Each structure stands twice: as C-alpha cells, then as structure tokens.
C-alpha cells in the first residue's frame, strides 16, 4: 500500500471518529466515558497521521506539485489546538466548562477537520496513478 493510499484510509478512520464525536455532542446528555475515549482515539490517530502527511506533502511540493504547504501546516496546528482544548476541559471535570468547550471547539473541530481532509483529498485524487 502506498503512502497516498494510507493517508486516504486514515481520512476515513478520522471521519468515523468525527461521527462519534458529533453523536456525543448532539445527544441530550454527554456520555463522558465515550467522549474521553473518542477524543483520546482521535488525538492518537491525528498525531500519527500528521507525522506521515506533512513530509509526504513536502516531498510532493519539492517534486513540483502545487501544494499549499503553509496552509496545511497552519491548519494542522489549529486543529490540534481545538482538540487539546476539548481534552483540557475534560481533565477539569467541570461539567459547565466541558459543555461550553465541547459545543464551541468540538463543532469547530468537526467542521474544520472535515474541510481540511476534503481539501487534502482533492490533492490526493489529482495525483498520477503511480502514487497509488
């Protein structure tokens, strides 16, 4: 399996976790054990994903492909901040703070991460077949 294919599969795995996070946010009560599990899993997947993705896109850029490296890197940092805010709020165990942070940063994270992956998928789909 090529790295480009692996990145696409990881996007699908991240989307599954985002669906789970969205379910937790939209439920009438917050399932804290599930929220903790989802955020930890999402953080783990995301960190490993970034370690693969950033060098991959850098290499494509060096080979002459038009890749928005600065935008990708900036967005990775912003997405990490949002996820870390959720994790930090969970660690406080203060229900009001968790609710506030979750609704603001959780929904932002879901929306922005989906858009980020969609933008990257356009790059991946445009690559020549030799990358897959």
Q: Which residue has the higher pLDDT, 28 or 113?
A: 113
* Least confidently predicted of 86-90, 109-113, 128-132: 128-132
What CATH number is associated with residue 78? 1.20.120
Is the alpha carbon torsion for 73, 74, 79, 81 positive or negative? Answer: positive
Query: Containing domain of residue 113, as a range?
Result: 3-131
To the nearest whole number, what is the mean pLDDT of the chain?
92
Structure confidence at residue 132 (pLDDT): 67
Mean pLDDT of all residues in 60-64: 92
Are 46 and 80 in contact by the 8 Å Cβ rule? The answer is: yes
Query: Where are any strands of DSSP class E within 42-84?
Result: none
CA proximity to 21, closest of 95, 116, 131, 112: 112
Are 4 and 131 in contact by the 8 Å Cβ rule? The answer is: yes
107, pLDDT greater than 80: yes
131, pLDDT greater than 80: no
> pTM of the predicted model, to two decimals?
0.90
The band of 105, judged by pLDDT with boundaries at 50, 70 and 90, is very high
The band of 8, judged by pLDDT with boundaries at 50, 70 and 90, is very high
The band of 57, judged by pLDDT with boundaries at 50, 70 and 90, is very high
> How far is C-alpha 22 from the geometric centre of its chain's CA atoms?
13
pLDDT digits (tens, 9 = 90+) for 11-53: 999 999 999 999 999 988 888 899 999 999 999 999 999 999 9
For the chain, the domain total comes to: 1
Q: Which residues contact 42 (CB under 8 A, 6 or more apart)?
A: 14, 17, 18, 21, 83
**Cα(127)–Cα(38) distance, rounded to whole angstroms?**
32
* Token pair 């989906």 in the structure block, residue: 114
CA proximity to 22, closest of 72, 95, 14: 14
Structure confidence at residue 122 (pLDDT): 92
């Amino acid at each position: 399996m090529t790295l480009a294919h692996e990145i696409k599969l990881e996007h699908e795995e991240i989307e599954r976790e985002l669906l789970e996070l969205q379910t937790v946010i939209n439920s009438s009560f917050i399932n804290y054990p599930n929220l903790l599990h989802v955020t930890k899993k999402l953080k783990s997947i995301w960190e490993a994903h970034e370690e693969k993705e950033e060098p991959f896109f850098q290499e494509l850029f060096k080979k002459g492909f038009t890749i928005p490296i600065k935008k990708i890197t900036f967005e990775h940092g912003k997405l990490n901040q949002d996820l870390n805010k959720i994790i930090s709020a969970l660690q406080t165990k203060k229900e009001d703070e968790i609710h506030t942070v979750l609704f603001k940063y959780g929904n932002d994270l879901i929306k922005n991460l989906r858009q980020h992956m969609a933008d990257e998928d356009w790059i991946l789909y445009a690559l020549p077949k030799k990358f897959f």
